[in-house]
Structure 1
Amino acid sequence: MKKIDIDAMPVLAGSNYPAPFNQPCEGQLCRRLARGAGLTQFGVNLTVIQPGSWSSQRHWHTHEDEFVWVVSGELTLITDAGEEVLRPGDCAAFKAGDPDGHHLVNRSGAPATVLEIGTGYAEDVCDYPDIDMVSNPHGPGYLHRDGAPYPVTEG
């Protein structure tokens, strides 16, 4: 059978960012649908973001396209251009290599659900323009901009 049983997919809670960058992102529950179904060329996540929580630190990818679609609730998309409210049915796209940092923040009083889709490119580097952090394309965890590693956090 090819139908994915979403409820049977493991739920990942919180964030694997190093402290203190993990704290604003702790209020989320993510199901990695594509990975759970054995797909390797792109990712599809169904994520519930609790009130007051962020989807991630503001970031952009060197080699990965991203697409988000709001399934339920209300989220604020924050980019270099400012803020936009996204409601059910609204979507946004982020082209690989565009250094416009972005993330979603739940400023509402109710949980919001978002479908996240991204390409899976092994050499992608995720840059976090507001903080001293980039992803490590050659290993787990994150790096300071000078290349020094942060402690690896499970998650």
Structure 2
Amino acid sequence: MPKLDPDKAPVRTGSIYPQPYADEMAGRSSLRLGELAGLTQFGVNIVTLAPGAVASLQHWHLNEDEFAMVLDGNLVLAEGLRETPMVSGDCAAWKAGVPVGHRFENRSDAPARFLVVGTKASEEIATYTQVDMKVHVAGGKARFTYHDDTDWTGPRDLPDGGQT
């Protein structure tokens, strides 16, 4: 395959999350390099976070490994109540099936970017650790449930207050 032109990669903004969580993803965009290359076994994206933006709700994946590397800017890696400053060159990774909720946050006054590479499992479940929600993905379709796997109908509190 010839050299990829990132300017030709699809850009995704917004979120598949239901409201009110979709609005929390304002200021995030994702350059879909894996999609540009036609990759099917893993995803490769460059995520840009505007000042004050977050990359996702804190989550962990049942079937997909995930790797991230900060390209530029200053980010905070939030894992439960633990926070780790991240700068250019810093890396983090999460093994599938390990229930460590994580997300990147841009608390700086400048944009920040990170590379994320992850498995593209045919079926996946991501659990959100600070809200009572999971997403089940199969056949390209997403279905949201509560942690007990009943259909999601709107936000509800977690028994432990979501401080996992």
The TM-score normalised by the length of structure 1 is 0.91
Q: CA deviation at 1:23?
A: 2.0
Give me the identity figure in percent: 42
Q: Does 1:13 align with 2:16?
A: no
The TM-score normalised by the length of structure 2 is 0.86
What is the letter of the counterpart of residue 26 of structure 1? A
DSSP-derived class of the 2:109 partner: coil
Deviations 1:73-96 (A, max 9, x none): 010000136000000011101111
C-alpha distance 8-150 of structure 1, shift in aligned 2 (>3 A): farther
5+ long unaligned stretches in structure 1: none
What is the letter of the counterpart of residue 148 of structure 1? D
DSSP-derived class of the 2:24 partner: helix
5+ long unaligned stretches in structure 2: 155-164
Aligned match of 1:140: 142
Aligned-CA RMSD value: 1.6
Q: CA deviation at 1:14?
A: 2.0
Alignment: residue pair count:
151
* Structure that is richer in strand per residue: 2
Q: Does 1:99 align with 2:102?
A: no
Separation in structure 1 between the aligned mates of residue 27 and residue 64 of structure 2, nearest angstrom: 25
Divergent runs of 4+, >2 A? 137-147
What is the letter of the counterpart of residue 9 of structure 1? A
Deviations 1:64-117 (A, max 9, x none): 110000001010000136000000011101111110100000000000001000
